[in-house]
């Protein structure tokens, strides 16, 4: 049996705002939008995408799953993301790690890694 990763679903309080933030982060676009679902991606044929769905309550704890980003220049990318509305987050990572933990406007943590070429770097 074959299977492919289709998308990540993110609970969101303000779907349009969070979708716009992640579109700016990833240089993606909105592919589908209704009142109760917004899907973003690089293009309609590129997988995976991110799907934002409504939730009434705000986030209250640390994510059990998060996104890792690997830019060409970690420090410059962190500054760009902070300017887009991300904020620094402390999840107990310590000061000697090679990544930066940020949170999106709704508090979902994600990491900005040093540049990598493979999963084993």
* Domain at 96, CATH number: 3.10.180.10
* Same domain for 75 and 48: no
d(CA 75, CA 90): 17
* Same domain for 110 and 79: yes
* Same domain for 115 and 77: yes
Is residue 43 a contact partner of residue 64, using CB atoms and an 8 Å limit?
no
Beta bridge partners of 10: 52
Confidence category of residue 57, pLDDT binned at 50, 70, 90: confident
Structure tokens at 42: 């690089």
Q: How many structural domains are present in the chain?
A: 2
Is residue 8 a contact partner of residue 51, using CB atoms and an 8 Å limit?
yes
Q: In the predicted model, what is the mean pLDDT of the chain?
A: 93
Is residue 12 a contact partner of residue 55, using CB atoms and an 8 Å limit?
yes
Structural domain boundaries enclosing 35 = 1-55
Confidence category of residue 95, pLDDT binned at 50, 70, 90: confident
pTM of structure:
0.91
Decide which of 36, 55, 74 is a domain's last residue. Answer: 55
């Amino acid at each position: 049996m074959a299977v492919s990763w289709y998308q990540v679903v993110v609970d969101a309080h303000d779907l349009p705002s969070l979708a716009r933030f992640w579109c700016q982060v990833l240089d993606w676009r909105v592919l589908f939008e209704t009142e109760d679902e917004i899907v973003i991606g690089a293009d309609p044929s590129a997988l995976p995408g991110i799907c934002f769905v409504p939730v009434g309550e705000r986030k209250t704890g640390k994510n059990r799953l998060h996104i890792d980003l690997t830019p060409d220049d970690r420090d410059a990318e962190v500054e760009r993301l902070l300017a887009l509305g991300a904020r620094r987050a402390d999840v107990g990572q310590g000061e000697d790690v090679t990544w930066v933990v940020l949170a999106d406007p709704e508090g979902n943590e994600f990491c900005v890694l040093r540049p990598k070429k493979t999963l084993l770097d």
